[in-house]
């Protein structure tokens, strides 16, 4: 659990200080696949600090690129942390609370962009 808490803190350490913007609800984007909804979620709420796509650097050096999270921990293991609500002691990171469908979408997107170890 300690490793998961550490990863969660790293994952969300650099998201926007203003708090989450309007998160896309599944009902608002029905008919769109979970990966696409997850991408919209992270682009709207995390891309200010994290590299959220399959390439590029995070604008905040301490914010890990989302595509490398799976090199240290199974991304699916983050589902519980996101479902319970994430908050860190990092002053720039707002508390993140996601609905169950948003958590599924986020995990689907994160799993879709993971790169193998040794790649960044």
The rounded average pLDDT for each run of 10 residues, N- to C-terminus, in the chain (120 residues) is 40 42 48 92 91 94 90 87 69 76 96 83
Q: What is the secondary structure of 14-53 as a DSSP string?
A: TS-TT---PPPPGGGGTTS-HHHHHHHHHHHHTTTTS--S
Structural domain harbouring 73:
2-113
Specify if 78 maps to a domain.
Answer: yes
**DSSP bridge partners of 86:** 96
Residue 2: the pLDDT is: 41
Specify if 22 maps to a domain.
Answer: yes
Q: For the chain, what is the domain count?
A: 1
Specify if 99 maps to a domain.
Answer: yes
Q: Report yes or no on whether pTM surpasses 0.85.
A: no
Specify if 118 maps to a domain.
Answer: no
Specify if 119 maps to a domain.
Answer: no
For residues 47 and 57, what is the distance between their CA atoms, to the nearest angstrom? 10
Specify if 120 maps to a domain.
Answer: no
The CATH number of residue 7's host domain is 1.10.760
């Amino acid at each position: 659990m300690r490793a998961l808490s550490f990863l969660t803190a790293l994952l969300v350490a650099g998201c926007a200080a203003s708090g989450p913007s309007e998160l896309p609800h599944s009902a608002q984007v029905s008919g769109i696949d979970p990966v696409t909804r997850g991408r919209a979620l992270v682009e709207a709420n995390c891309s200010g600090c994290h590299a959220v796509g399959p390439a590029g650097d995070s604008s905040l050096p301490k914010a890990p690129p989302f595509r490398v999270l799976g090199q240290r921990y199974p991304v699916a293991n983050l589902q519980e942390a996101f479902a319970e609500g994430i908050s860190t002691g990092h002053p720039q990171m707002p508390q993140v609370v996601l609905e169950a469908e948003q958590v599924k979408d986020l995990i689907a997107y994160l799993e879709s962009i993971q790169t193998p170890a040794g790649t960044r």
